[in-house]
C-alpha cells in the first residue's frame, strides 16, 4: 500500500513567530495550504495519506470550547476523502463545563480525522499548556490514543502521543508489548525517543519549529522526521521550503 506522509513544522504556540495572534480560521487556512502543497488538491484513491502538524498549531492558550467545535467542523471539509489520516496539531481549550469547579479546567485537544471519522484525543500529561492568565488547572485527558483504519483490503493500527507523552513513554508504560503499524507523535519540543517507539513500520514525529524560518531544517527540536521499525531516519522524498516535507512510503 502506497503511504504518503506530509508534515509541517509551523510554530503555533504562545508568542508564535509564524501566526502571532492569528485566530483559528487563519491557522486553518495555513494548514489547508500546507496540505494542498504536500498532496495536491485531489487525493489518489488507491493510496493512503497522512498529514501531521505540530502540537499547539491552533494555539497554546486556552480558548472557548466553541472554537474547538468550529475547528472540527471546518477540518471535515478539507478533503472529501476516506483515505486520509489528519493529525492537525492541537488546541488548548476550556472544558466548557457549567460547574464552577470545572469552569477553568482546560485540555490540550487533538481532533484526529481518519477514514471519514472523527476522534477527539485529549493529552493525558501536562507540558506547556496555559490558561488565560498563565498556568492554571489541567484536567487529565483520555487514554484512547489508538485507532484502526481499514483500507485496501486490510486494517492498519495507529497510535498517537502528544509531546511529553512520548518523552515519558505513555504507550510504552501502559501497553508495553503492543505494537502499531504507525506511531504518530505531534509535539512542540520533544525529540524522538527510540526506547518509547511502538511501531512495526513507521514512527511519524512532527515538532514545531523553534528557529527562524530560514534556519528551520532539522535544527534543534524543530524537526519533521520519519523513522522505520529500527528507528533509522528516512529522508523525505521532497521538501517544500523549510516548513513542509513529504515522504512516499509503503505500508505492507
pLDDT at 22 over 50: yes
Identity of the highest mean pLDDT range in 71-85, 177-191, 211-225: 177-191
Choose between 78 and 249: higher pLDDT. 249
Kindly report, residue by residue over 66-86, the tens digit of the pLDDT: 999 999 988 887 877 789 999
Choose between 147 and 104: higher pLDDT. 147
Q: Residue 168, class by beta-carbon neighbours within 10 Å (0-12 exposed, 13-18 middle, 19+ buried)?
A: middle
> pTM score > 0.85 for this model?
yes
Cα–Cα dist 244/53, whole Å: 10
Residues 200-205 have a mean pLDDT of 97
pLDDT at 213 over 70: no
pLDDT at 61 over 50: yes
What CATH number should be reported for the domain holding residue 8? Answer: 3.60.110.10
Q: How many CB atoms lie within 10 A of CB 87?
A: 27
Helix-helix angle 65-75:24-39, to 10 degrees: 30
Choose between 131 and 234: higher pLDDT. 234
CA distances from 219 to 24, 162, 190, 213 (A): 27, 20, 13, 11
Q: What residues make up the domain containing 68?
A: 2-250
Residues 135-159 have a mean pLDDT of 81
Counted domains in the chain: 1
Choose between 8 and 137: higher pLDDT. 8
CB 132 within 8 A of CB 138: no
> Residue 216's pLDDT band (boundaries 50, 70, 90)?
low
**Residue 220 confidence (pLDDT):** 46
pLDDT at 44 over 90: yes
How high does pLDDT run on average in the chain? 87
> Residue 212's pLDDT band (boundaries 50, 70, 90)?
low
**Residue 20 confidence (pLDDT):** 79
**Residue 51 confidence (pLDDT):** 97
Choose between 219 and 226: higher pLDDT. 226
Residues 240-252 have a mean pLDDT of 93
Kindly report, residue by residue over 159-176, the tens digit of the pLDDT: 999 998 999 898 898 877
Q: DSSP letters of 15-30? A: T-TTTTT--HHHHHHH
Amino acid at each position: 500500500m502506497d503511504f504518503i506522509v506530509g508534515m509541517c513544522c509551523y510554530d503555533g504556540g504562545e508568542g508564535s513567530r509564524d501566526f502571532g495572534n492569528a485566530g483559528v480560521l487563519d491557522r486553518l487556512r495555513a494548514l489547508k495550504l500546507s496540505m494542498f502543497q504536500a498532496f495536491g488538491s485531489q487525493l489518489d484513491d488507491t493510496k493512503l495519506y497522512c498529514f501531521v502538524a505540530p502540537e499547539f498549531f491552533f494555539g497554546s492558550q486556552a480558548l472557548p470550547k466553541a472554537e474547538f467545535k468550529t475547528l472540527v467542523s471546518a477540518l471535515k471539509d478539507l478533503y472529501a476523502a476516506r483515505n486520509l489520516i489528519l493529525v492537525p496539531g492541537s488546541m488548548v481549550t476550556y472544558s466548557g463545563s457549567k460547574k464552577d469547579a470545572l469552569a477553568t479546567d482546560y485540555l490540550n485537544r487533538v481532533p484526529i480525522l481518519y477514514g471519514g471519522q472523527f476522534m477527539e484525543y485529549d493529552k493525558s500529561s501536562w507540558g506547556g499548556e496555559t490558561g488565560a492568565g498563565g498556568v492554571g488547572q489541567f484536567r487529565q485527558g483520555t487514554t484512547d490514543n489508538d485507532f484502526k483504519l481499514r483500507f485496501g483490503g486490510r486494517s492498519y493500527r495507529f497510535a498517537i502521543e502528544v509531546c511529553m507523552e512520548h518523552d515519558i513513554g505513555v504507550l510504552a508504560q501502559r501497553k508495553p508489548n503492543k505494537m502499531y503499524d504507525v506511531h504518530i507523535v505531534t509535539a512542540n519540543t520533544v525529540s524522538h525517543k527510540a526506547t518509547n517507539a511502538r511501531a512495526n513500520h513507521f514512527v511519524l514525529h512532527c515538532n514545531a519549529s523553534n528557529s527562524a524560518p530560514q534556519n528551520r531544517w532539522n535544527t534543534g527540536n524543530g524537526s519533521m522526521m520519519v523513522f522505520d521499525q529500527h528507528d533509522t531516519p528516512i529522508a523525505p522524498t521532497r521538501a517544500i521550503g523549510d516548513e513542509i516535507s513529504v515522504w512516499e512510503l509503503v505500508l505492507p
